[in-house]
Amino acid sequence: MTFKQKLKPIVPQPLWHLARDSWIGLKHATQWPLATLHPWRRVSMEQLAALKDIHKGERCFIIGNGPSLKNTDTSLLKDEYTFGMNRIYLAFPDWGFTTSYFVSVNSLVIEQCADDILELPVPKFLSWRSRGSIDQPTADTIFLHSTYTGRKFAPDVRGRIWEGATVTYVSMQLAFHMGFETVILIGVDHSFVAKGKPNQTVVSEGDDLSHFDARYFGKGFRWQLPDLDVSEQAYIMAREGYKAAGRQIVDATVGGKLQVFPKVDYNTLFS
SS3 letters across the chain: CCHHHHHHHHCCHHHHHHHHHHHHHHHHHHHHHHHHHCHHHHHHHHHHHHHCCCCCCCEEEEECCCHHHHHCCHHHHCCCCEEEECCHHHHHHHHCCCCCEEEECCHHHHHHHHHHHHCCCCCEEEEHHHHHHCCCCCCCEEEEEEECCCCCCCCCCCCEEECCCCHHHHHHHHHHHCCCCEEEEECCCCCCCCCCCCCCEEECCCCCCCCCCCCCCCCCCEEECCCHHHHHHHHHHHHHHHHHCCCEEEECCCCCCCCCCCECCHHHHCC
Q: In the prediction, which pLDDT does 16 show?
A: 55
Res 21: pLDDT? 60
> Is the model's pLDDT at 18 over the cut of 80?
no
pLDDT tens readout for residues 143-191: 999 998 889 999 999 999 999 999 999 999 999 999 999 999 999 999 9
Given pLDDT bands bounded at 50, 70 and 90, which one contains residue 36? Answer: confident
Whether the pLDDT of residue 242 is over 60: the answer is yes
Look up the pTM and report it.
Answer: 0.88
**Among 9, 30, 8, which residue's Cα sits nearest to residue 19?**
8
Question: How many Cβ atoms from other residues are within 10 Å of residue 91's Cβ?
Answer: 21
- What does the alpha-carbon distance between residue 39 and residue 17 come to, in Å, rounded to a whole number? 35
Helical packing angle, 167-177 and 228-244, nearest 10°: 10
Could you tell me the pLDDT band of residue 241, with boundaries at 50, 70 and 90? very high
